[in-house]
Amino acid sequence: MGVKTTDLEIFSPSSEENLQLTFVEEGVQAGFPSPAPENTILTLDLNKELIQHPAATFYARVVGNSMIDAGVNEGDILIIDRSIEPQNGHMVVCFVDGEFTLKFIRLDEKEKGIIWLIPANPDFPKIKVTPENEFMIWGVVSYTIKNRLKK
């Protein structure tokens, strides 16, 4: 089950199996290595960790590079939680004038009812959304997943 659009390819998660992987609870320090962790090895299931509301969650694969300055590149995976109430500054999958697109939302400070869709790439324009546009926020991006081996 899925749908392909210009900016995104949307999927439904499959969570038939759970996969418990070893998890070091102290966290991984991005600086000096910590001494060997003691007795804190637990397991972590990514489905449980990353999906708070399974009935409301979809995945999408990013197409294009309008969000590269936010660290979101083509091929990255988005976790979209439709149960989250969108707020100023959220990264969202929205639907504007017939197209799905991935942007940050910003409410206009002066003009009420105006929403700005902000890309994270200077080559892309900001989009002004007024009540005249056909517009809906389809879902809020809760996580982005990136392959660190891909160049």
Partner 1 sequence: MYALVDCNHFFVSCERLFRPDLRNHPVCVLSNNDGCVVSLSHEAKILGIKRGVPLFQIADIVKKNNIAIFSSNYLLYSGISERVMKIITDTAKNVDVYSIDEAFIDLRNYEKRSLCHLCDCWLRKLKNGWVFPLVSE
What is the binding site for partner 1 (CB under 8 A)? 1, 3, 10, 12, 53-56, 82-83, 85, 95, 98, 134, 136, 138
Q: Give the C-alpha separation, 19 to 68, whole Å.
A: 30
Q: Which of 48, 103, 112, 146 is labelled catalytic?
A: 103
Shortest distance, CB of residue 58 to partner 1, whole angstroms?
Answer: 9
Q: Which of 12, 15, 66, 151 is labelled catalytic?
A: 66
DSSP for 27-95 reads ---SSSPPPPP-S-EEEEEHHHHH-S-GGGEEEEEE-SSTTGGGT--TT-EEEEETTSPP-TT-EEEEE
Q: Tell me if residue 34 is catalytic.
A: no
Shortest distance, CB of residue 24 to partner 1, whole angstroms?
Answer: 31
Shortest distance, CB of residue 16 to partner 1, whole angstroms?
Answer: 11
Which residue bears the tokens 């929403």?
115
Taking the least distance from each CB to partner 1, the nearer of 20 and 133 is 133
| Pair 76, 93: CB distance under 8 Å | no
Taking the least distance from each CB to partner 1, the nearer of 85 and 132 is 85
Q: Tell me if residue 112 is catalytic.
A: no
Tell me how far the alpha carbon of residue 44 is from its chain's centroid.
Answer: 21
What residues are labeled active site? 66, 103
